[in-house]
Chains A and B, each alone.
Chain A
Amino acid sequence: DVKVTQSSRYLVKRTGEKVFLECVQDMDHENMFWYRQDPGLGLRLIYFSYDVKMKEKGDIPEGYSVSREKKERFSLILESASTNQTSMYLCASSQSGRSTDTQYFGPGTRLTVL
């Protein structure tokens, strides 16, 4: 079974702090994604990566950056956390370019910024 793990289930940070959210997948997938999920707004794509050291902006990249130094690990960084970044953050991974693409999610990190 595909497994996507996220470093924390719950996180509380203060405004202005630098925040790291880590995601690891064990299926050798090329593609990895970071979403945030807010009530009434659904899933919104922040950043994604199709390969090591590669990153692409999603729909709402402002205030975030990412790092993909190893294939299995994709990190989301909040350089200076703000209260409007309080949200559920979901990491996902998928295989690339096959005729049966499927995307798998991690358990989520609920981040609260005070």
Chain B
Amino acid sequence: AQTVTQSQPEMSVQEAETVTLSCTYDTSESDYYLFWYKQPPSRQMILVIRQEAYKQQNATENRFSVNFQKAAKSFSLKISDSQLGDAAMYFCAYRSVRNSGNTPLVFGKGTRLSVIA
């Protein structure tokens, strides 16, 4: 079974600075998807970024980018130019490509990010 580990329960960053959230995972599969979700106080689950394991290029979405190290099974999220609206719980998640990708997500326990003005 796959597992996802987020070793930082809480992080803080100054507004406009850069912060990196860590995520490691364990799997015996060679192809899979990795995700970062943001959960603000509104409780919505918002997809931040997605990485396909067979793609070597790190995914980027505006101020959000990942450092995907497949051999090390590491998938960290970098938030640049942090804004007050980035304050939220962030979840790392894994998904198998079995069944054409229609498989449940396996989540880490989350990292709560605070942004200091």
Whether chain B is bound by chain A comes out as: no
Which B residues lie at the A interface, using CB under 8 A?
A: none
Which A residues lie at the B interface, using CB under 8 A?
A: none
